[in-house]
Structure 1
């Protein structure tokens, strides 16, 4: 009974070839739908107003900030040409108090962090206005290269006085209150930044992906396909897909644990794809499954079906713990003991317990990799014939991927590639490169700020 209950739970996270193909087809359909929809509730396929990738020859000094789900990074970026950059960067944790406070408090804090950076680099340009590129890892409705209205934020943010406001005005309001001569000349999404910055060093890059606390992607689309774009005429456009907000019940293989995560989230029914694959939620899926298994006495039988208080708190089981457990491939899985003793005060696990925890963690991690691969294939299909040519044996397409899950989670890139081979076939998949892209937010923002400020059409 115990074994079958455990296997029944784990099997919910195992995806068949048919389920993966449904994800590819479903996401492809939503990518197409997002190109034309003007429904304000549909935040997908946002035009970035960036119409070309960098050449690698750009030069100059620009400020940048990168606001993500966990940290704010401020940077002075020296573009040196030949794909080379020099970066002075500071990182600041965004506290829960800031995340759920007022917009004014948040943007005053960002201005203080920017002031700290300027002191660090001793940057004194007299009365000259400093140009800044901004990477904003949340949905905005872009109206120009340096303007955009803030849409639903997610990732634990619930700021008052921000929704529907222009991000340039919010940021420059903070800078003005702190007497900083900083002008926002470009606003990009973190995935757009990843795409632009990785293309600076690797010109075959056509897709940028973020896989960290949250997930998102950007790619290059024919402008003629983007019927909702109302800006100046252009041939192509980098789109911020906001694939985190995609995913419909008819094709997403949601378990009861996925549905529970969605139900108790700040915005139920929003970002359902992200809630199945990203770093904020993977550990919570493990915790919910463990709680269920303990209550059924199908794991940790020494607890007698009683769930420890330490495991009852939402988000108590971090995705970092999954990485630690998956890093230990020994038969004994001693890392399981360490995690549960140190973080949850649970000791005396049996060999079966350790093996089962490892299997559960591995299966949930692999599902995330497979679903991310399926989403990448959907983008490759949509871009094929435009910026991507899957049928040209001599053409390599690089996907630049930034984020802690891709960088640090054991075997993640390997699982993604295996899944892409399964979906695309060996020939086509062999033309795809998955590459780690670091610091795309700051460097990408600086690159776009430079071109925008110099008057060139980005």
Structure 2
């Protein structure tokens, strides 16, 4: 077997390898339901105990605070699964990120006031209810309360750590004379599940598959032994599956291990490092450099010499993989375009282009297969276990948001094909994979509505 073929084969997963992922993640999901170890961040209760029906109506505010931008939105729930969204996006400056908490939350209030001028609503004397998507670590104690643990992403705010986010926001609104009540604080994955359930009531799982990856699902409350809140029948859990994945069951190659070893936190988020958009391109780059040095590819044009432009970490973007795989023609001319434009490599042979295409395909296929395995595990959990899944006849929808799922060629079809292998045709025929959007804003507004009406505690 050639060096190239042996390398390629490392990314082609067997049925046994897929089953090991299913079994391993099942064990971690179950462990996360009961663990009180503060280092284990998986299976976080959201305090949301029901999903929308799709018939809800009303106007709710939402903010989605990330590392770069703040999005403010007025979400009109129109019933029949329909929404109208008025949104503004504001860049969070470095000055704000490193200033006082008071300045940050005054600015958030000002951004909210700007939105309210645009939507022109009759507020009267009533409070406006807001849902908040907060992309930073919180110790959540209720559906609308959580203490800020750490922020990162360039933030260094004074007088914020350890304080309750609801209090910080509402104090800022009060200083600006805005009658806004924070009714819900959520994670973006929970928002994806809730917002897609409004459109497709059969939704039981929400997934983010973009730069990073995560998932949320509905679990029977009796299974969540670490939850000590008010009694309920079910609970949406933020799985934090990005933090799952033990080397004992993941099919890691030497390239995956290299990525993990040089990451900020080695041994953490191994699953995410094998499947998400932040890492797929880097996996390909490491493999390609190895193949070039072994003269297993590009021999006639490079003769074992790696171009300088390919040497820096993250130099090969996952977007390049998407461009290459979008051209499935026999001559794979998109390979020429990517390598000539971005790396100054030309005069590739037909064999070289085919090798590049096949390698890109294998890495993308592995990501889809591993994500499908994780989804299969949650399908079992969300439907009461593998035995009960046979008895479930209704459709179960998985709402998936993110650039990898939306834009990587044929990704949803690859996932569905792998799910069929794992579940069998009969079970898989009852599963739908659907693109979900606007989870951060619509999802937050919907949870605010659910909370206000007593559906979340």
- Normalised by the size of structure 1, how large is the TM-score? 0.90
Matches of 1:182 and 1:444, distance apart in 2: 18
Matches of 2:53 and 2:190, distance apart in 1: 16
Question: Residue 310 in 1 paired to residue 294 in 2?
Answer: no
SS at 1:77's partner residue? strand
Query: 2:37 matched to which residue of 1?
Result: 39
Do the aligned partners of 2:49 and 2:455 also contact (CA within 8 Å) in 1?
no
Question: Residue 132 in 1 paired to residue 98 in 2?
Answer: no
Query: 1:65 matched to which residue of 2?
Result: 63
Question: Residue 372 in 1 paired to residue 374 in 2?
Answer: no
Query: 2:232 matched to which residue of 1?
Result: 234
Question: Residue 328 in 1 paired to residue 327 in 2?
Answer: yes
> Structure 1 residue aligned with 2:74, among 64, 70, 76?
76
What is the deviation of 1:362? Answer: 0.6
- Unaligned 5+ segments in structure 2 are none
Range moving further from structure 2, 159-168 or 137-146: 159-168
Do the aligned partners of 1:244 and 1:273 also contact (CA within 8 Å) in 2?
yes
CA change 1:76–1:14 in 2 (3 A) is same
Matches of 2:285 and 2:92, distance apart in 1: 25
Matches of 1:176 and 1:387, distance apart in 2: 50
Cα deviations by residue, 1:380-405 (Å, 9 ceiling, x for unpaired) = 12223379952236321111111111
Question: Residue 221 in 1 paired to residue 219 in 2?
Answer: yes
What is the deviation of 1:53? Answer: 0.8
SS at 1:35's partner residue? helix
SS at 2:440's partner residue? helix
Q: CA RMSD in A?
A: 2.8
Query: 1:160 matched to which residue of 2?
Result: 156
Cα deviations by residue, 1:357-411 (Å, 9 ceiling, x for unpaired) = 1111111100000000000111112223379952236321111111111111111
Matches of 2:306 and 2:108, distance apart in 1: 41
SS at 2:371's partner residue? helix
SS at 2:269's partner residue? coil
Do the aligned partners of 1:69 and 1:213 also contact (CA within 8 Å) in 2?
no
Matches of 1:93 and 1:352, distance apart in 2: 46
> Structure 2 residue aligned with 1:269, among 267, 270, 273?
267
Matches of 1:286 and 1:254, distance apart in 2: 14
Do the aligned partners of 1:108 and 1:178 also contact (CA within 8 Å) in 2?
yes
Range moving further from structure 2, 121-130 or 229-238: 121-130
Do the aligned partners of 2:48 and 2:455 also contact (CA within 8 Å) in 1?
no
SS at 1:132's partner residue? strand
What is the deviation of 1:23? Answer: 0.4
CA change 1:226–1:103 in 2 (3 A) is farther
Matches of 2:421 and 2:395, distance apart in 1: 18
What is the deviation of 1:82? Answer: 2.0
CA change 1:188–1:299 in 2 (3 A) is same
> Structure 2 residue aligned with 1:146, among 144, 147, 152?
144
Question: Residue 352 in 1 paired to residue 348 in 2?
Answer: no
Query: 2:434 matched to which residue of 1?
Result: 435
Question: Residue 416 in 1 paired to residue 415 in 2?
Answer: yes
Question: Residue 299 in 1 paired to residue 297 in 2?
Answer: yes
> Structure 2 residue aligned with 1:249, among 247, 250, 254?
247
What is the deviation of 1:13? Answer: 1.4
Query: 1:88 matched to which residue of 2?
Result: 86
Matches of 2:107 and 2:289, distance apart in 1: 39
Matches of 1:444 and 1:282, distance apart in 2: 28
CA change 1:69–1:12 in 2 (3 A) is farther
Do the aligned partners of 1:108 and 1:177 also contact (CA within 8 Å) in 2?
yes
> Structure 2 residue aligned with 1:25, among 23, 26, 31?
23
Matches of 2:92 and 2:308, distance apart in 1: 27
SS at 2:270's partner residue? coil
Matches of 2:341 and 2:194, distance apart in 1: 41
CA change 1:410–1:69 in 2 (3 A) is farther
Matches of 1:15 and 1:235, distance apart in 2: 38
What is the deviation of 1:148? Answer: 2.0
- Stretches (4+) displaced over 6 A: 176-179
Cα deviations by residue, 1:72-100 (Å, 9 ceiling, x for unpaired) = 432110111221110112345678x5898
Matches of 1:262 and 1:69, distance apart in 2: 23
> Structure 1 residue aligned with 2:3, among 5, 8, 30?
5
- Normalised by the size of structure 2, how large is the TM-score? 0.90
What is the deviation of 1:11? Answer: 1.8
Matches of 1:116 and 1:44, distance apart in 2: 37
Do the aligned partners of 2:50 and 2:455 also contact (CA within 8 Å) in 1?
no
SS at 1:273's partner residue? helix
Query: 2:280 matched to which residue of 1?
Result: 282
